[in-house]
Amino acid sequence: MSIKNVVVIGSGFAGLSAATHLANQGYNVSLLEKNSTPGGRARKFEAEGFVFDMGPSWYWMPDVFETYFGHFGKKPSDYYDLIRLDPSYTVVFGDNDFMDIPANLAAFRSLLETIEPGVGPKLDEFLKQAAYKYEVGIKDLVYRPSRSIFEFTSPGLLLDMIRMDIFQSMSKHVRKFFKEDKIIRLMEFPVLFLGETAQNIPALYSLMNYADIALGTWYPDGGMHKIIEGMVKLAEEKGVKFHYDAEVTSIGIQNGIAKAVFTKDGRKFDADVVVAGADYNHIDQKVLEPAYRNYDEKYWDKRVMAPGSLLFYLGVNKKLDNLRHHNLFFDEPLGPHADAIYTNPRWPEKPLFYASVPSKTDPTVAPEGMENLFLLVPLAPDLEDTEEMREKYYNIIMDRLERLTGQEVRSHVVYKRSYAHKDFKSDYHAFKGNAYGLANTLLQTAILKPSLKNKKVKNLYYTGQLTVPGPGVPPSLISGHVVAKEVMKENNL
C-alpha cells in the first residue's frame, strides 16, 4: 500500500475524528487549524482562575464516545473521567416552580405521575418507541454516507423508517402520549439540540428523549474540553501532525484533483486527499474557485440554519443558590410563533435561555468560593450583532435569573465575556454566524443535506455539522468516521 498525504481542515470533533481514523489506516495526515488551540467550537479559555468551555456543555449518548474510542482499542476512561449528573438538569417554569429531572428512570416516571396521573404506561410506550429509533438511527442510519437514495431503499429499512415516524412532526408525536404542558415542553426540549422546534423536526428524533432519559446526562471531569484533549492525544498517538494558526485560504486544483492546500501565512501542504472539517459554506463559497463549488449562493441562502447563540462567560465571586449544573429557563412560553427564535431576523422579545454552572460539579473550573456561570440565549442566525444589543439581553436574562433564583448576581460578577454572531464568523467562518450548523428538518435529512463529497473535485470531502449526519457532538464524531470510510473506500484502503 502506498501511503498517501491527507490534509484535514479544522480540528473540531468531526475533523479530529476524520484525521484519527485516516491516520489509523496508514495515511500521512496533516491537520490544519485556523486558531491557536484545537477543538473548534469546543475550545476552552482561562481567565482570572476560571476555566470556560467555549461551546458544547452537554455530554449525551455516552455509547457514541465509547464506540469512537473503541475503534482504536481505547476507552473514554483512558483519557478522561465521567461523572453522571443527578439531577440530570433543572427546568425553571416560573416563580418557585423548579423541576429537577432525576437520573433514575423509575424516579423520573414517578415525577411525571405527579404532574399527569396515569401517564406512566404512556411514558413506557413512548420510551420503547424512542429506544427502537435510537437503535436503528444511531447504530445504523447515521453511519450511512447519504450519497444515494439507494442507500435507503431496502424493504426492511423502508419499513423501519415508517415505524420511526419520519413523516410526522415531533410536536404531534409527543402530544399523542402526553397532555400536560410541562411534560410536553420537557419532551420537546431535546430536539432543540438539532436546531429546530418540535413543529419542524421529524418524530424520528424522539430518539433524543431516549438519550436524555435512559442514557443520562454526564460531565467529563475537568470540562468538555477534556474530550478534545483526549482526542488530540489519541490523534497524535496515531501520527496526526497538528498545525495551528494555519488558516486555509485556497486549495490548489488541477484537472479536477486537489493537489495542495495553502494557508494565510504562505504555507503549502501537498495533498492526495483533502477533508474539509471547517465551515462547509466557507470552503464552498470562499476558499474554492467558482468552477469547483458544490452549490451556489441561492442554494445556501435557502438552507434552514440552526440558531445562533448569544453566550456569556461569567466569573462570580460567591456561591450561587437555586442553580444546578444545567438549568433550562422555560419561564416564558414559546407560543405559536416559536419559529421566530430560529428564522425571524430580529431579536426575540422574551428569549428562552440556558444557564450552566459547572463549578457545582467540578470545583477546578473556578477559584475557591466562586462559581463559573455560562449563559446561552438561542437567536436567529445572521442578526445584527452589536455590543449594545448584547448588553441589553444580558440585563434581560439577568433580571429573570436573579428574580427566579432569589439572589443578586450581577454585582458579584468579577469576570465577563460575551460571544455571539460576529465572533462565530470571525473565529470559525460560521455561515450567518450559526452556532450549531444546519437544522435537522425533514427536507435537510440524509441525502437532502449538503453532500460529503465534492461533485467537481475528485478527492475533496466534507465533514461536520453542515453535512451528514447533522449537528451536535456525537453526530460530528460520527461524521468524521463516515467520511473517513468513504475516503478509504474510494482510495482502495
Q: What is the pLDDT of residues 217-233, one digit of tens each?
A: 999 999 999 999 999 99
Q: 245-262 pLDDT, tens per residue?
A: 999 999 999 999 999 999
Is 94 among the domain residues? no
Q: Are residues 270 and 123 in the same domain?
A: no
Q: Are residues 295 and 386 in the same domain?
A: no
> How far is residue 126's CA from residue 170's CA, in Å, rounded to a whole number?
12
pLDDT band at 302 (very low <50, low <70, confident <90, very high): very high
Residue carrying the nine cell digits 496508514: 26
The amino acid present at 399, given as its one-letter code, is D
The crossing angle, in degrees rounded to 10, of helices 225-237 and 62-70 is: 10
Residues 413, 314 share a domain: yes
User: Among residues 160, 184, 212, which one ends one of the domains?
Assistant: 212
Would you say residue 24 lies in a domain? yes
Give the torsion sign (CA, 374, 378, 379, 382): positive
92 in a domain, yes or no? no
Residue 294 lies in a domain: yes
Is residue 122 located within the same domain as residue 76? Answer: no
Of the listed ranges 144-158, 268-282, 315-329, the one predicted with least confidence: 144-158
Please name the residues in contact with 41: beta carbons below 8 A apart, sequence gap of 6 or more. Answer: 12, 54, 55, 56, 428, 435
Extract the C-alpha cell encoding 139: 447504530
Contact 412, 369 (CB under 8 A): no
The whole-number average pLDDT for the span 387-405 is 98
| List of residues 6+ apart from 396 with CB closer than 8 A | 351
Q: What is the pLDDT of residues 334-386, one digit of tens each?
A: 654 454 555 567 888 889 899 999 999 999 999 999 999 999 999 999 999 99
How confident is the model over 51-62, as a mean pLDDT? 98
Average pLDDT over residues 172-185: 97
Q: Which of 212, 236, 262 lies at the terminal end of a domain, its last residue?
A: 212
What pLDDT score was predicted for residue 491? 79
C-alpha 89/C-alpha 108 separation (Å) is: 12
| pLDDT tens digits, one per residue of 90-143 | 999 999 999 999 999 999 999 999 999 999 999 999 999 999 999 999 989 999
Query: Which residues on adjacent β-strands are paired with residue 100?
Result: 90
- Sort strands 5-9 and 28-32 into parallel, antiparallel or unpaired: parallel
User: 136 with 147, same domain?
Assistant: yes
Q: Which residues pair with 213 in a beta bridge?
A: none
Does residue 88 lie in a domain region? no
Residues 324 and 420 in one domain: yes
Q: 202 in a domain, yes or no? A: yes
Mean pLDDT of 304-320: 96
**What pLDDT is stored for residue 162 in this prediction?**
72
Residue 383: which CATH number? Answer: 3.30.519
Residues 143 and 118 in one domain: yes
Regarding whether 169 and 198 lie in a shared domain, the answer is: yes
CATH number of the domain enclosing 255: 3.50.50.60
Residue 93 resides in a domain: no
pLDDT of 173 strictly over 90 = yes
Give the Cα separation of 360 and 376 in Å (integer).
Answer: 18
What is each CA distance from 138 to 61, 180, 208, 475, in whole angstroms? 9, 29, 10, 9
Q: Does 338 fall in a domain?
A: yes
Task: Flag whether pLDDT at 164 surpasses 90.
Answer: no
| Mean pLDDT of the residues in the chain | 94
Statement to judge: residues 191 and 254 lie in one domain: no
pLDDT tens track for 2-29: 669 999 999 999 999 999 999 999 999 9
Question: Which are the contacts of 87, defined by CB distance < 8 A and separation ≥ 6?
Answer: 100, 101, 102, 103, 324
State the amino acid at position 417 in one-letter form: R
For residue 153, name the pLDDT band (cuts at 50, 70, 90). Answer: confident
My answer on whether 298 and 442 are in the same domain is: yes
Residue ending a domain, among 428, 455, 479, is 428
Inter-residue contact 160 to 191 (CB < 8 Å): no
Query: For residue 194, what pLDDT is reported?
Result: 79
pLDDT at 432: 95
* CA gap 362, 352 in Å, rounded: 26
Q: Are residues 290 and 309 located together in one domain of the fold?
A: no
Task: Write out the residue range of the structural domain in which residue 31 sits.
Answer: 5-81+223-302+438-490
Question: Has residue 492 got a pLDDT over 50?
Answer: yes
The reported pLDDT for the residue numbered 406 is 98
Query: What are the beta bridge partners of residue 7?
Result: 30, 274
Q: What is the pTM of this model?
A: 0.96
- Residue-wise pLDDT for 184-197, tens only, equals 999 999 988 777 88
The pLDDT value recorded for residue 191 is: 87
What is the layout of strands, in order, in the sheet containing 268-270?
A: 248-254, 257-263, 268-270
In the prediction, which pLDDT does 3 show? 63
Whether residues 170 and 283 share a domain: the answer is no
Pairing assessment for the beta strands 273-276 and 460-462 based on DSSP bridges: parallel
Looking at the 3D structure of the chain, how many domains does it have? Answer: 3
